[in-house]
Amino acid sequence: MDQTHFLNARLADGSLRDLTVAGGRFSAIALAANATMPPSGAIDLAGQLVLPAFVEGHIHLDTSFYDDVWRPHIPCTNGFDVRERVAFQMRNLEQAAPMAERARNQLELCVGNGSLAMRSHVMVDAAVGLKHVEAILAVREKYRHLVDIQLVAFPQSGILSSPGTAELLDEALKLGCDLIGGLDPASFDRDVKGHLDVVFGLAEKRGAGIDIHLHDRGTLGLFEIEEIAARTATMGMQGKVVVSHAYGLGDISADALAKAGERIAGAGVAIMTNAPGDHPFPPVAALRKAGVTVFAGSDNIRDSWWPYGDGDMLNRANMIGYRSGFYEDCELEAAYDVVSHAGAKALGLEGYGIAVGAKADFVALKAEHVPEAVVAVPKDRTVYRAGREVARGGKVGPKTR
Residue ranges that bind Zn ion, judged by CB under 5 A: 299
Query: 117 CB contacts (<8 Å, ≥6 apart)?
Result: 53, 55, 56, 147, 148, 149, 150, 343, 344, 347, 349, 352, 361
CB of 222 to Zn ion, least distance (A): 20
Nearer to Zn ion, 242 or 317 (CB): 242
Residue 312 identity: D
Provide the β-strand partners of residue 149.
Answer: 118
- DSSP string across 149-168: EEEEEE-TT-STTSTTHHHH
CB of 303 to Zn ion, least distance (A): 10
CB of 57 to Zn ion, least distance (A): 10
Q: With the C-alpha atoms ordered 181, 213, 243, 313, is the resulting torsion angle positive or negative?
A: positive
Nearer to Zn ion, 48 or 89 (CB): 89
Nearer to Zn ion, 213 or 288 (CB): 213
CB of 77 to Zn ion, least distance (A): 22
CB of 248 to Zn ion, least distance (A): 16
Nearer to Zn ion, 170 or 299 (CB): 299
Nearer to Zn ion, 148 or 303 (CB): 303
User: Are the C-beta atoms of residues 6 and 339 closer than 8 Å to each other?
Assistant: no
Nearer to Zn ion, 18 or 299 (CB): 299
Nearer to Zn ion, 299 or 312 (CB): 299
Q: If DSSP codes are grouped into helix, strand and coil, which group holds residue 9?
A: strand
CB of 60 to Zn ion, least distance (A): 6
Q: Which one-letter DSSP state was computed for residue 279?
A: S
Are β-strands 3-10 and 43-44 bridged in parallel, bridged antiparallel, or unpaired? parallel
- DSSP string across 108-119: HHHHHTTEEEEE
What is the number of H-type helices and E-type strands within the chain? 12, 17
Residue 249 to residue 279: CA distance in whole angstroms: 11
Q: Which one-letter DSSP state was computed for residue 251?
A: G
Q: Is 236 exposed, middle or buried (0-12, 13-18, 19+ CB in 10 A)?
A: exposed
3-state per-residue secondary structure call for 191-205: CHHHHHHHHHHHHHH
CB of 305 to Zn ion, least distance (A): 8
Q: Residue with the closest Cβ to Zn ion?
A: 299
* CA-closest candidate to residue 125, choices 87, 176, 159: 159
CB of 181 to Zn ion, least distance (A): 9
CB of 279 to Zn ion, least distance (A): 13
Residue 167 to residue 160: CA distance in whole angstroms: 11
Nearer to Zn ion, 299 or 361 (CB): 299
Angle at Cα 204 formed by Cα 203 and Cα 209, nearest 5°? 35
Nearer to Zn ion, 61 or 168 (CB): 61
